[in-house]
């Protein structure tokens, strides 16, 4: 797990973090948090995994929470970017929903270790950081809801409960991070394809009625 997570969709994990020492520390923090949990991990553990001294860590990050916040922020920014690209992209509502689910699932499968930390350690964020992340999650929810609402307006989707279905679609995709196993039988692409089909069924997608 961890540092073995591959580039996917042209995204190299943590490439936005510089300098190299700061990036190595972030990767080490993701691995440590995923293995032992945030509260059982010390900044000394993280520095050790990165082959650095605790003093070297403090040059880049003042606290353990700053590391978690940075990981969570990068993960949530990427999730929002994936969903808004699909929501505001070309094609019918069904095409856009298919693209959103495929790319969101691929990200959660390929980056499952990071995604688990991002999803399961929200309670450990400082209140102001948590509020910032909650706002990014609200925007991700709004992007998916926008696609579903467009499909309903076009007569292509049947969605009796718009907020509930939005929640279920996001939840289904996010939980891929929990069960996905690189040694398992399906690639991230294959899971993406299966899930896009299941989600189009959830909204009863059909071609737009003739005018």
138 lines the binding site for a second copy (CB under 8 A) = no
**Binder of a second copy out of 56, 59, 134, 204 (CB under 8 A):** 204
CB of 180 closer than 8 Å to CB of 115: no
| Cα 68 from chain centroid (whole Å) | 15
Query: Between residues 153 and 198, which has the closer beta carbon with respect to a second copy?
Result: 198
What minimum distance in Å lies between the beta carbon of 41 and a second copy? 8
CB of 148 closer than 8 Å to CB of 97: yes
Query: Between residues 82 and 117, which has the closer beta carbon with respect to a second copy?
Result: 117
161 lines the binding site for a second copy (CB under 8 A) = yes
How many C-beta atoms surround the C-beta of residue 195 within 10 A? 22
d(CA 97, CA 148): 8
135 lines the binding site for a second copy (CB under 8 A) = no
119 lines the binding site for a second copy (CB under 8 A) = yes
23 lines the binding site for a second copy (CB under 8 A) = no
| CA 131 vs CA 81, 126, 171: distances in Å | 19, 9, 20
Segment 162 to 201, residues that bind a second copy, using CB under 8 A: 164-165, 167-168, 171-172, 174-176, 178-179, 186, 191, 194-195, 197-198, 201
Residues near a second copy (CB under 8 A), total: 32
What minimum distance in Å lies between the beta carbon of 198 and a second copy? 5
36 lines the binding site for a second copy (CB under 8 A) = yes
d(CA 104, CA 188): 10
d(CA 202, CA 192): 15
What minimum distance in Å lies between the beta carbon of 85 and a second copy? 24
Place of tokens 């190595």: 24
**Binder of a second copy out of 19, 90, 127, 160 (CB under 8 A):** 160
Where does this chain bind a second copy (CB under 8 A)? 35-40, 119-120, 123, 160-161, 164-165, 167-168, 171-172, 174-176, 178-179, 186, 191, 194-195, 197-198, 201-204
């Amino acid at each position: 797990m961890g540092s073995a997570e591959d580039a996917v969709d042209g995204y190299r994990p943590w490439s936005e973090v510089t300098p190299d020492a700061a990036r190595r520390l972030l990767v080490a923090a993701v691995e440590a948090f995923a293995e032992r949990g945030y509260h059982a991990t010390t900044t000394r553990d993280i520095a050790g995994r990165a082959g650095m001294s605790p003093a070297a860590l403090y040059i880049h990050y003042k606290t353990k929470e700053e590391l978690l916040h940075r990981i969570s922020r990068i993960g949530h920014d990427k999730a929002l970017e994936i969903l808004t690209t699909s929501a505001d992209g070309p094609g019918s509502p069904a095409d856009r929903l298919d693209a959103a689910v495929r790319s969101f699932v691929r990200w959660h499968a390929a980056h499952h270790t990071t995604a688990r930390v991002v999803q399961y350690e929200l309670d450990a964020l400082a209140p102001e950081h948590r509020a910032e992340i909650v706002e990014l999650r609200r925007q991700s929810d709004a992007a998916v809801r926008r696609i579903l609402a467009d499909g309903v307006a076009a007569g292509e989707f049947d969605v009796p409960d718009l907020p509930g279905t939005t929640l279920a679609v996001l939840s289904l995709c996010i939980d891929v991070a929990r069960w996905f196993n690189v040694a398992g039988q399906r690639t991230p692409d294959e899971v993406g394809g299966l899930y896009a089909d299941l989600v189009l069924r959830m909204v009863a997608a059909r071609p737009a009625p003739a005018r």
